[in-house]
Amino acid sequence: MCPWEFHDKPRDECGVLGIYAPGNSVSLKAYYGLNALQHRGEESAGIAVSDGKQIRVHKKMGLVAEVFNKDILSALKGNLAIGHVRYSTSGDSSEVNAQPLLYKDDKGSVAVAHNGNITNARQLKKRLAQTRTSGYTNLDSEIFLRLLAYYRNLSLEKLLELFLKEISGSYSLVIMTENSLIGLRDPYGMRPLCLGKLKEMESGYILASETCALRAVGGELVREIDPGEGVIIDKNGVSFMRSFPGRCRRLCIFEYIYLARSDSVIDGRTVNSVRREFGRELAREHPVAGDVVISIPESGTAMAMGYAEQCGLPFREGLLRNRYIGRTFIKPGQKNRELAVKMKFNVISDVIQGQRVVVVDDSLVRGTTSCQIVRMLREAGAKEVHLLVASPPLSSPCYYGIDIPSAAELVAAHRTLEEIRQYVGSDSLQYLSLKGMLQVLRRPKEFCTACFDGVYPVPVFEQETG
Ligand SMILES: O=P(O)(O)OC[C@H]1O[C@H](OP(=O)(O)OP(=O)(O)O)[C@H](O)[C@@H]1O
Ligand SMILES: NC(=O)CC[C@H](N)C(=O)O
Ligand code: SF4
Ligand SMILES: [Mg+2]
Protein backbone atom coordinates (compact mmCIF):
# COMPACT_ATOMS: atom_id res chain seq x y z
CA MET A 1 0.00 0.00 0.00
CA CYS A 2 1.23 3.49 -0.82
CA PRO A 3 2.35 5.17 2.39
CA TRP A 4 -0.26 7.89 2.00
CA GLU A 5 -3.22 5.77 1.12
CA PHE A 6 -6.01 6.63 3.56
CA HIS A 7 -8.84 4.50 4.77
CA ASP A 8 -12.15 5.18 3.09
CA LYS A 9 -13.67 6.33 6.33
CA PRO A 10 -12.51 7.64 9.62
CA ARG A 11 -12.74 5.65 12.83
CA ASP A 12 -12.59 6.85 16.39
CA GLU A 13 -10.64 8.73 19.02
CA CYS A 14 -7.19 8.79 20.54
CA GLY A 15 -5.80 9.93 23.84
CA VAL A 16 -2.69 12.05 24.27
CA LEU A 17 -0.65 12.80 27.33
CA GLY A 18 2.48 14.80 28.19
CA ILE A 19 4.37 15.03 31.49
CA TYR A 20 7.12 17.46 32.43
CA ALA A 21 8.63 16.70 35.83
CA PRO A 22 12.18 17.98 36.28
CA GLY A 23 14.25 15.75 38.54
CA ASN A 24 11.64 12.99 38.60
CA SER A 25 11.22 9.81 36.65
CA VAL A 26 8.07 10.02 34.54
CA SER A 27 7.54 6.71 32.73
CA LEU A 28 5.38 5.18 35.47
CA LYS A 29 3.29 8.34 35.69
CA ALA A 30 2.86 8.27 31.91
CA TYR A 31 1.74 4.66 32.21
CA TYR A 32 -0.91 5.56 34.80
CA GLY A 33 -2.04 8.54 32.77
CA LEU A 34 -2.40 6.51 29.59
CA ASN A 35 -4.35 3.86 31.47
CA ALA A 36 -6.83 6.55 32.45
CA LEU A 37 -7.19 7.45 28.77
CA GLN A 38 -7.53 3.86 27.58
CA HIS A 39 -11.21 4.34 26.67
CA ARG A 40 -10.11 6.73 23.88
CA GLY A 41 -8.19 4.10 21.95
CA GLU A 42 -7.61 0.41 22.41
CA GLU A 43 -5.51 -0.50 19.36
CA SER A 44 -1.98 0.55 20.27
CA ALA A 45 -0.16 2.43 23.00
CA GLY A 46 3.16 4.20 23.18
CA ILE A 47 5.34 6.35 25.41
CA ALA A 48 8.32 8.52 24.41
CA VAL A 49 10.66 9.61 27.20
CA SER A 50 13.56 12.05 27.21
CA ASP A 51 16.47 12.04 29.66
CA GLY A 52 17.53 15.47 28.43
CA LYS A 53 19.89 14.04 25.83
CA GLN A 54 17.86 11.61 23.80
CA ILE A 55 14.28 10.48 23.29
CA ARG A 56 13.44 6.77 23.59
CA VAL A 57 10.12 5.38 22.39
CA HIS A 58 8.32 2.17 23.19
CA LYS A 59 5.07 1.44 21.33
CA LYS A 60 3.17 -1.65 20.30
CA MET A 61 -0.26 -2.91 19.38
CA GLY A 62 -2.46 -3.64 22.39
CA LEU A 63 -3.81 -2.10 25.57
CA VAL A 64 -1.53 -0.01 27.79
CA ALA A 65 -1.23 -2.86 30.31
CA GLU A 66 -0.24 -5.26 27.52
CA VAL A 67 2.30 -2.97 25.88
CA PHE A 68 4.24 -2.01 29.03
CA ASN A 69 5.67 -3.88 31.98
CA LYS A 70 7.98 -2.98 34.84
CA ASP A 71 11.18 -3.67 32.90
CA ILE A 72 10.11 -1.68 29.86
CA LEU A 73 9.07 1.25 32.03
CA SER A 74 12.33 1.25 34.00
CA ALA A 75 14.29 1.29 30.75
CA LEU A 76 12.40 4.43 29.69
CA LYS A 77 14.46 6.81 31.80
CA GLY A 78 13.82 10.52 31.92
CA ASN A 79 11.73 13.32 33.34
CA LEU A 80 9.85 14.36 30.25
CA ALA A 81 7.40 12.14 28.38
CA ILE A 82 4.56 12.05 25.92
CA GLY A 83 2.15 9.17 25.39
CA HIS A 84 -0.60 8.02 23.07
CA VAL A 85 -3.41 5.48 22.94
CA ARG A 86 -4.62 4.99 19.41
CA TYR A 87 -7.75 4.25 17.58
CA SER A 88 -6.84 4.50 13.92
CA THR A 89 -8.60 7.16 11.87
CA SER A 90 -6.18 7.43 8.96
CA GLY A 91 -3.78 4.70 8.11
CA ASP A 92 -3.69 1.04 9.03
CA SER A 93 -4.15 -0.31 12.47
CA SER A 94 -0.58 -1.58 12.66
CA GLU A 95 2.52 -1.23 14.77
CA VAL A 96 4.31 1.13 12.38
CA ASN A 97 1.40 3.52 12.76
CA ALA A 98 1.46 3.42 16.54
CA GLN A 99 2.27 6.76 18.13
CA PRO A 100 4.19 8.80 19.39
CA LEU A 101 6.03 9.41 16.12
CA LEU A 102 9.71 10.24 16.39
CA TYR A 103 11.84 12.37 14.09
CA LYS A 104 15.62 12.63 14.45
CA ASP A 105 18.23 14.61 12.58
CA ASP A 106 21.57 16.20 13.35
CA LYS A 107 19.82 19.02 15.21
CA GLY A 108 18.14 16.65 17.67
CA SER A 109 14.88 14.76 18.09
CA VAL A 110 11.24 15.59 18.30
CA ALA A 111 8.28 13.30 19.05
CA VAL A 112 4.60 13.94 18.35
CA ALA A 113 1.34 12.37 19.49
CA HIS A 114 -1.90 13.36 17.78
CA ASN A 115 -5.58 13.08 18.56
CA GLY A 116 -7.79 14.01 15.67
CA ASN A 117 -8.06 13.72 11.92
CA ILE A 118 -6.50 15.99 9.32
CA THR A 119 -8.77 16.92 6.46
CA ASN A 120 -6.16 18.33 4.06
CA ALA A 121 -3.52 15.65 4.60
CA ARG A 122 -3.36 14.68 0.96
CA GLN A 123 -2.68 18.19 -0.28
CA LEU A 124 0.01 18.70 2.34
CA LYS A 125 1.49 15.33 1.62
CA LYS A 126 1.91 16.24 -2.05
CA ARG A 127 3.62 19.47 -1.11
CA LEU A 128 5.97 17.76 1.28
CA ALA A 129 6.54 14.67 -0.84
CA GLN A 130 10.30 15.16 -0.83
CA THR A 131 10.54 15.51 2.94
CA ARG A 132 11.41 12.18 4.51
CA THR A 133 10.63 11.45 8.10
CA SER A 134 10.12 7.86 9.16
CA GLY A 135 8.89 6.91 5.71
CA TYR A 136 6.94 3.95 7.08
CA THR A 137 3.65 5.19 8.40
CA ASN A 138 0.59 5.91 6.33
CA LEU A 139 -0.82 8.25 8.95
CA ASP A 140 -2.31 11.68 8.55
CA SER A 141 -0.40 12.56 11.74
CA GLU A 142 2.88 12.18 9.87
CA ILE A 143 2.15 15.61 8.36
CA PHE A 144 3.22 17.18 11.64
CA LEU A 145 6.59 15.44 11.47
CA ARG A 146 7.07 16.41 7.85
CA LEU A 147 6.34 20.04 8.58
CA LEU A 148 8.67 19.89 11.58
CA ALA A 149 11.39 18.37 9.41
CA TYR A 150 10.86 20.80 6.53
CA TYR A 151 10.82 23.92 8.71
CA ARG A 152 13.51 22.73 11.11
CA ASN A 153 15.09 26.16 11.37
CA LEU A 154 11.98 27.90 12.64
CA SER A 155 11.43 28.60 16.33
CA LEU A 156 8.88 26.46 18.17
CA GLU A 157 6.46 29.37 18.30
CA LYS A 158 6.67 29.90 14.55
CA LEU A 159 6.22 26.18 13.94
CA LEU A 160 3.05 26.04 16.00
CA GLU A 161 1.73 29.06 14.17
CA LEU A 162 2.49 27.33 10.90
CA PHE A 163 0.59 24.21 11.98
CA LEU A 164 -2.42 26.33 12.86
CA LYS A 165 -2.36 28.08 9.51
CA GLU A 166 -1.62 25.11 7.28
CA ILE A 167 -3.35 22.14 8.85
CA SER A 168 -7.06 21.71 8.52
CA GLY A 169 -9.16 19.32 10.57
CA SER A 170 -9.08 18.32 14.18
CA TYR A 171 -5.94 18.04 16.26
CA SER A 172 -4.95 18.12 19.85
CA LEU A 173 -1.22 17.56 19.91
CA VAL A 174 1.49 16.89 22.41
CA ILE A 175 5.02 17.37 21.13
CA MET A 176 8.35 16.94 22.89
CA THR A 177 11.92 17.83 22.17
CA GLU A 178 14.69 16.57 24.46
CA ASN A 179 13.97 19.43 26.87
CA SER A 180 10.53 20.82 26.30
CA LEU A 181 6.92 19.75 26.27
CA ILE A 182 4.51 21.45 23.88
CA GLY A 183 0.74 21.30 23.50
CA LEU A 184 -1.43 22.61 20.68
CA ARG A 185 -5.15 22.61 20.04
CA ASP A 186 -6.67 23.21 16.60
CA PRO A 187 -8.33 26.59 15.93
CA TYR A 188 -11.83 25.16 16.51
CA GLY A 189 -10.87 23.16 19.60
CA MET A 190 -12.58 20.09 18.16
CA ARG A 191 -10.66 17.67 20.35
CA PRO A 192 -10.13 18.35 24.04
CA LEU A 193 -6.78 19.16 25.68
CA CYS A 194 -6.13 20.34 29.20
CA LEU A 195 -3.21 21.54 31.26
CA GLY A 196 -2.60 20.25 34.76
CA LYS A 197 -0.07 20.82 37.49
CA LEU A 198 1.69 18.01 39.32
CA LYS A 199 0.64 18.61 42.91
CA GLU A 200 3.81 17.76 44.75
CA MET A 201 6.26 19.31 42.33
CA GLU A 202 7.02 22.98 41.95
CA SER A 203 7.61 22.97 38.20
CA GLY A 204 5.84 19.79 37.14
CA TYR A 205 3.10 19.94 34.49
CA ILE A 206 0.82 17.61 32.56
CA LEU A 207 -1.01 17.89 29.28
CA ALA A 208 -3.84 15.45 28.69
CA SER A 209 -6.84 14.79 26.49
CA GLU A 210 -9.05 14.55 29.55
CA THR A 211 -8.95 15.61 33.17
CA CYS A 212 -9.37 11.99 34.35
CA ALA A 213 -5.69 11.48 33.36
CA LEU A 214 -4.56 14.41 35.51
CA ARG A 215 -5.88 12.80 38.65
CA ALA A 216 -4.33 9.48 37.71
CA VAL A 217 -0.83 11.00 37.77
CA GLY A 218 -1.30 13.11 40.89
CA GLY A 219 -2.13 16.35 39.17
CA GLU A 220 -4.83 18.97 39.26
CA LEU A 221 -6.44 20.98 36.51
CA VAL A 222 -4.97 24.37 35.68
CA ARG A 223 -7.29 24.97 32.75
CA GLU A 224 -8.37 23.73 29.34
CA ILE A 225 -6.18 24.80 26.45
CA ASP A 226 -8.14 27.23 24.27
CA PRO A 227 -8.89 26.62 20.60
CA GLY A 228 -5.90 27.71 18.53
CA GLU A 229 -3.73 27.99 21.61
CA GLY A 230 -0.24 26.57 22.07
CA VAL A 231 1.60 25.97 25.32
CA ILE A 232 5.34 25.50 25.77
CA ILE A 233 6.68 24.05 29.01
CA ASP A 234 10.41 24.09 29.66
CA LYS A 235 13.01 25.28 32.18
CA ASN A 236 11.62 28.80 31.84
CA GLY A 237 8.18 27.69 33.04
CA VAL A 238 4.93 27.69 31.09
CA SER A 239 4.28 30.07 28.24
CA PHE A 240 1.09 30.32 26.25
CA MET A 241 0.96 31.19 22.60
CA ARG A 242 -2.05 32.82 21.08
CA SER A 243 -0.61 34.50 18.05
CA PHE A 244 -3.06 32.71 15.78
CA PRO A 245 -6.63 34.00 15.88
CA GLY A 246 -8.67 31.15 17.38
CA ARG A 247 -11.92 30.48 15.55
CA CYS A 248 -15.27 29.83 17.18
CA ARG A 249 -15.05 26.88 19.51
CA ARG A 250 -16.54 23.76 17.96
CA LEU A 251 -15.90 20.96 20.40
CA CYS A 252 -17.11 17.58 19.14
CA ILE A 253 -20.42 17.01 20.90
CA PHE A 254 -19.66 13.29 20.93
CA GLU A 255 -17.13 13.96 23.68
CA TYR A 256 -20.09 14.52 25.99
CA ILE A 257 -22.24 11.79 24.47
CA TYR A 258 -19.80 8.89 24.34
CA LEU A 259 -16.09 9.58 24.00
CA ALA A 260 -14.96 11.15 27.23
CA ARG A 261 -14.85 9.32 30.53
CA SER A 262 -17.71 10.07 32.83
CA ASP A 263 -15.52 11.57 35.58
CA SER A 264 -13.72 13.96 33.23
CA VAL A 265 -14.56 17.64 33.44
CA ILE A 266 -15.19 19.56 30.23
CA ASP A 267 -16.04 23.23 30.35
CA GLY A 268 -16.42 23.12 34.11
CA ARG A 269 -18.89 20.23 34.23
CA THR A 270 -18.34 16.53 34.72
CA VAL A 271 -19.28 14.50 31.68
CA ASN A 272 -21.43 12.42 34.01
CA SER A 273 -23.60 15.38 35.01
CA VAL A 274 -24.13 16.39 31.38
CA ARG A 275 -25.05 12.82 30.40
CA ARG A 276 -27.51 12.67 33.28
CA GLU A 277 -29.09 15.90 32.06
CA PHE A 278 -29.35 14.44 28.54
CA GLY A 279 -31.29 11.58 30.13
CA ARG A 280 -33.57 13.95 32.00
CA GLU A 281 -34.24 15.95 28.85
CA LEU A 282 -34.98 12.72 26.98
CA ALA A 283 -37.56 11.85 29.64
CA ARG A 284 -39.15 15.31 29.34
CA GLU A 285 -39.39 14.85 25.59
CA HIS A 286 -40.42 11.19 25.58
CA PRO A 287 -41.92 9.82 28.77
CA VAL A 288 -42.71 6.11 28.36
CA ALA A 289 -45.02 3.91 30.40
CA GLY A 290 -42.66 1.26 31.74
CA ASP A 291 -41.88 -0.70 34.90
CA VAL A 292 -38.13 -0.43 35.02
CA VAL A 293 -35.36 1.65 33.42
CA ILE A 294 -32.10 -0.05 32.53
CA SER A 295 -29.02 1.18 30.70
CA ILE A 296 -26.76 -0.27 28.06
CA PRO A 297 -23.52 0.07 29.96
CA GLU A 298 -21.11 1.78 30.01
CA SER A 299 -21.82 5.08 28.34
CA GLY A 300 -25.62 4.81 28.50
CA THR A 301 -25.69 4.51 32.29
CA ALA A 302 -25.67 8.16 33.35
CA MET A 303 -28.36 8.93 30.76
CA ALA A 304 -30.53 6.06 31.97
CA MET A 305 -30.22 7.28 35.56
CA GLY A 306 -31.26 10.77 34.51
CA TYR A 307 -34.18 9.35 32.57
CA ALA A 308 -35.34 7.27 35.54
CA GLU A 309 -35.00 10.21 37.97
CA GLN A 310 -37.06 12.46 35.75
CA CYS A 311 -39.78 9.85 35.12
CA GLY A 312 -39.89 8.59 38.68
CA LEU A 313 -39.29 5.01 37.49
CA PRO A 314 -36.89 2.64 39.23
CA PHE A 315 -33.43 2.34 37.71
CA ARG A 316 -32.02 -1.21 37.83
CA GLU A 317 -28.93 -2.99 36.60
CA GLY A 318 -30.52 -5.17 33.94
CA LEU A 319 -27.47 -5.88 31.84
CA LEU A 320 -24.19 -7.09 33.16
CA ARG A 321 -21.18 -5.83 31.30
CA ASN A 322 -18.17 -8.08 31.08
CA ARG A 323 -15.41 -5.73 32.22
CA TYR A 324 -12.76 -7.53 30.20
CA ILE A 325 -14.34 -6.67 26.85
CA GLY A 326 -13.56 -3.15 25.67
CA ARG A 327 -15.65 -0.65 23.79
CA THR A 328 -17.43 -2.28 20.87
CA PHE A 329 -17.99 0.82 18.76
CA ILE A 330 -14.27 1.52 18.49
CA LYS A 331 -13.35 -2.00 17.37
CA PRO A 332 -12.23 -2.18 13.75
CA GLY A 333 -14.53 -4.27 11.53
CA GLN A 334 -18.22 -5.13 11.82
CA LYS A 335 -17.61 -8.83 12.66
CA ASN A 336 -15.36 -7.86 15.57
CA ARG A 337 -17.96 -5.41 16.82
CA GLU A 338 -20.80 -7.97 16.67
CA LEU A 339 -18.76 -10.60 18.45
CA ALA A 340 -17.70 -8.13 21.09
CA VAL A 341 -21.31 -7.12 21.81
CA LYS A 342 -22.24 -10.81 22.23
CA MET A 343 -19.40 -11.38 24.65
CA LYS A 344 -19.85 -8.09 26.44
CA PHE A 345 -23.40 -8.29 27.81
CA ASN A 346 -25.53 -10.65 29.79
CA VAL A 347 -29.05 -10.13 31.06
CA ILE A 348 -29.88 -10.14 34.77
CA SER A 349 -33.05 -12.12 34.22
CA ASP A 350 -35.12 -11.32 37.32
CA VAL A 351 -34.84 -7.59 36.60
CA ILE A 352 -36.20 -8.14 33.10
CA GLN A 353 -38.70 -10.99 33.26
CA GLY A 354 -42.32 -9.94 32.80
CA GLN A 355 -41.37 -6.23 32.87
CA ARG A 356 -42.03 -3.34 30.55
CA VAL A 357 -38.37 -2.46 30.11
CA VAL A 358 -37.22 1.04 29.19
CA VAL A 359 -33.68 0.65 27.90
CA VAL A 360 -31.55 3.75 27.45
CA ASP A 361 -28.37 4.08 25.41
CA ASP A 362 -26.24 7.12 24.59
CA SER A 363 -26.20 6.64 20.82
CA LEU A 364 -27.34 4.42 18.00
CA VAL A 365 -24.78 4.29 15.20
CA ARG A 366 -24.83 1.06 13.18
CA GLY A 367 -27.34 -0.54 15.51
CA THR A 368 -24.95 -3.39 16.35
CA THR A 369 -25.51 -2.96 20.07
CA SER A 370 -29.22 -2.16 20.22
CA CYS A 371 -30.32 -4.96 17.84
CA GLN A 372 -28.62 -7.58 19.97
CA ILE A 373 -29.69 -6.07 23.28
CA VAL A 374 -33.35 -5.89 22.28
CA ARG A 375 -33.20 -9.55 21.24
CA MET A 376 -31.51 -10.53 24.51
CA LEU A 377 -34.11 -8.69 26.57
CA ARG A 378 -36.96 -10.41 24.75
CA GLU A 379 -35.30 -13.80 25.19
CA ALA A 380 -35.02 -13.04 28.90
CA GLY A 381 -38.80 -12.59 29.07
CA ALA A 382 -39.31 -8.81 28.87
CA LYS A 383 -42.99 -7.99 28.36
CA GLU A 384 -42.19 -4.87 26.35
CA VAL A 385 -38.91 -3.30 25.26
CA HIS A 386 -38.77 0.48 24.72
CA LEU A 387 -35.51 1.85 23.35
CA LEU A 388 -34.61 5.44 24.21
CA VAL A 389 -31.53 7.02 22.65
CA ALA A 390 -30.04 10.02 24.44
CA SER A 391 -28.74 11.74 21.29
CA PRO A 392 -30.36 12.58 17.94
CA PRO A 393 -30.43 10.31 14.87
CA LEU A 394 -27.07 10.26 13.07
CA SER A 395 -27.40 11.23 9.45
CA SER A 396 -23.95 12.28 8.22
CA PRO A 397 -20.45 10.84 8.46
CA CYS A 398 -17.71 12.33 10.60
CA TYR A 399 -14.49 13.48 8.90
CA TYR A 400 -12.87 14.69 12.10
CA GLY A 401 -11.81 11.42 13.63
CA ILE A 402 -14.84 9.58 14.96
CA ASP A 403 -16.01 6.32 13.49
CA ILE A 404 -19.35 7.62 12.33
CA PRO A 405 -19.33 5.97 8.96
CA SER A 406 -20.81 6.64 5.55
CA ALA A 407 -24.55 7.20 5.38
CA ALA A 408 -24.94 3.67 4.01
CA GLU A 409 -23.82 2.19 7.33
CA LEU A 410 -25.69 4.63 9.55
CA VAL A 411 -28.95 3.07 10.63
CA ALA A 412 -30.75 6.39 10.81
CA ALA A 413 -29.47 7.95 7.58
CA HIS A 414 -32.06 6.48 5.21
CA ARG A 415 -34.79 5.21 7.48
CA THR A 416 -37.82 6.71 9.09
CA LEU A 417 -38.21 6.41 12.85
CA GLU A 418 -40.66 3.54 12.35
CA GLU A 419 -38.23 1.75 10.02
CA ILE A 420 -35.43 2.06 12.57
CA ARG A 421 -37.74 0.72 15.28
CA GLN A 422 -38.48 -2.31 13.09
CA TYR A 423 -34.76 -2.72 12.38
CA VAL A 424 -33.83 -2.88 16.07
CA GLY A 425 -36.98 -4.82 16.94
CA SER A 426 -38.16 -2.76 19.92
CA ASP A 427 -41.80 -1.97 20.82
CA SER A 428 -41.05 1.73 20.64
CA LEU A 429 -38.08 3.92 19.82
CA GLN A 430 -37.37 7.57 20.58
CA TYR A 431 -34.37 9.85 20.25
CA LEU A 432 -33.38 13.00 22.12
CA SER A 433 -33.80 16.00 19.80
CA LEU A 434 -30.82 18.11 18.76
CA LYS A 435 -32.55 21.13 20.25
CA GLY A 436 -33.06 19.31 23.54
CA MET A 437 -29.47 18.14 23.62
CA LEU A 438 -28.06 21.60 22.98
CA GLN A 439 -30.35 23.10 25.57
CA VAL A 440 -28.56 21.08 28.22
CA LEU A 441 -25.19 22.61 27.30
CA ARG A 442 -23.98 25.92 28.67
CA ARG A 443 -22.65 27.18 25.35
CA PRO A 444 -24.84 25.45 22.80
CA LYS A 445 -23.37 27.28 19.82
CA GLU A 446 -19.83 26.10 20.53
CA PHE A 447 -20.16 22.52 19.38
CA CYS A 448 -19.67 20.55 16.23
CA THR A 449 -22.92 18.72 15.49
CA ALA A 450 -22.15 17.83 11.87
CA CYS A 451 -23.04 14.14 12.14
CA PHE A 452 -26.53 15.16 13.27
CA ASP A 453 -27.21 18.16 11.06
CA GLY A 454 -24.62 17.99 8.24
CA VAL A 455 -23.13 21.39 9.13
CA TYR A 456 -19.36 20.84 8.92
CA PRO A 457 -17.46 23.59 10.74
CA VAL A 458 -14.05 22.78 9.22
CA PRO A 459 -13.64 22.39 5.46
CA VAL A 460 -13.34 18.81 4.28
CA PHE A 461 -11.43 18.55 1.05
CA GLU A 462 -13.03 16.41 -1.59
CA GLN A 463 -10.19 13.90 -1.83
CA GLU A 464 -10.35 13.30 1.90
CA THR A 465 -13.97 12.21 1.93
CA GLY A 466 -13.09 8.95 0.25
O1 LIG B 1 -25.14 1.40 17.26
P2 LIG B 1 -23.75 0.90 17.46
O3 LIG B 1 -22.99 0.84 16.17
O4 LIG B 1 -23.69 -0.39 18.20
O5 LIG B 1 -22.95 1.98 18.31
C6 LIG B 1 -23.45 2.59 19.47
C7 LIG B 1 -23.03 1.84 20.70
O8 LIG B 1 -21.57 1.81 20.79
C9 LIG B 1 -21.15 2.45 21.98
O10 LIG B 1 -20.89 1.51 23.01
P11 LIG B 1 -19.45 0.84 23.28
O12 LIG B 1 -19.65 -0.60 23.52
O13 LIG B 1 -18.49 1.19 22.18
O14 LIG B 1 -18.85 1.57 24.56
P15 LIG B 1 -19.39 1.78 26.05
O16 LIG B 1 -19.05 0.53 26.80
O17 LIG B 1 -18.64 2.98 26.55
O18 LIG B 1 -20.85 2.05 26.01
C19 LIG B 1 -22.28 3.36 22.38
O20 LIG B 1 -22.26 3.59 23.78
C21 LIG B 1 -23.49 2.56 21.96
O22 LIG B 1 -23.82 1.59 22.93
N1 LIG C 1 -8.11 8.75 16.77
C2 LIG C 1 -7.15 9.57 16.61
O3 LIG C 1 -7.17 10.68 17.10
C4 LIG C 1 -6.05 9.04 15.72
C5 LIG C 1 -5.01 10.04 15.27
C6 LIG C 1 -4.47 9.71 13.88
N7 LIG C 1 -5.36 10.24 12.87
C8 LIG C 1 -4.29 8.21 13.73
O9 LIG C 1 -4.97 7.59 12.95
O10 LIG C 1 -3.45 7.67 14.41
S1 SF4 D 1 -19.13 15.20 13.01
FE2 SF4 D 1 -20.00 14.40 14.94
S3 SF4 D 1 -18.50 12.95 15.73
FE4 SF4 D 1 -17.47 14.18 14.16
S5 SF4 D 1 -16.49 15.87 15.27
FE6 SF4 D 1 -18.51 16.62 14.65
S7 SF4 D 1 -19.88 16.09 16.37
FE8 SF4 D 1 -17.98 14.91 16.62
MG1 LIG E 1 -22.41 1.60 24.66
What lies within 8 Å, CB to CB, of 217 at 6+ separation is 19, 29, 30, 32, 33, 196, 198, 206
Mean pLDDT of 84-107: 92
- Residue range 394-410: mean pLDDT, rounded: 86
Residue of 327, 329, 363 best suited for mutating to test ligand 1, as the one with most atoms within 8 Å of CB:
329
With the most atoms of ligand 1 within 8 angstroms of its CB, the residue from 40, 255, 258 to mutate is 258
Q: Determine whether the annotation assigns residue 371 to a binding site.
A: no
pTM of the model: 0.92
**Could you state, in order of their start, the residue ranges of all structural domains in the chain?**
14-249, 269-442
Bridge-based pairing of strands 55-61 and 292-295 is: unpaired
Query: Binding site annotation covers 252?
Result: yes
Ligand 2 site, CB within 6 A: 12-14, 86-91, 99, 114-117, 139-141, 401
Inform me whether the pLDDT recorded for 450 exceeds 50: yes
- Of 75 and 9, more confident: 75
Q: In the predicted model, what is the mean pLDDT of the chain?
A: 91
Catalytically active residues, by annotation = 14
Q: What average pLDDT does this structure show over 152-163?
A: 91
- ipTM for the predicted complex comes to 0.97
Q: How far is the CA of 401 from the centre of ligand 2 (A)?
A: 7
- CA of residue 281 to ligand 3 center, whole Å: 21
Domain 14-249 fold = Glutamine Phosphoribosylpyrophosphate, subunit 1, domain 1 (3.60.20)
Q: Which pLDDT does position 201 carry in this prediction?
A: 83
448 assigned to a ligand binding site: yes
Report whether 299 belongs to an annotated binding site. yes
**Which atom of ligand 1 is nearest the CA belonging to 258?**
20
Ligand closest in space to the Cα of 252 = 3
CATH architecture, domain 269-442 = 3-Layer(aba) Sandwich (3.40)
Among 286, 330, 291, 293, smallest CA distance to 308 is for: 293
pLDDT > 60? residue 272:
yes
User: What's the mean pLDDT in 186-207?
Assistant: 94
123 pLDDT higher than 60: yes
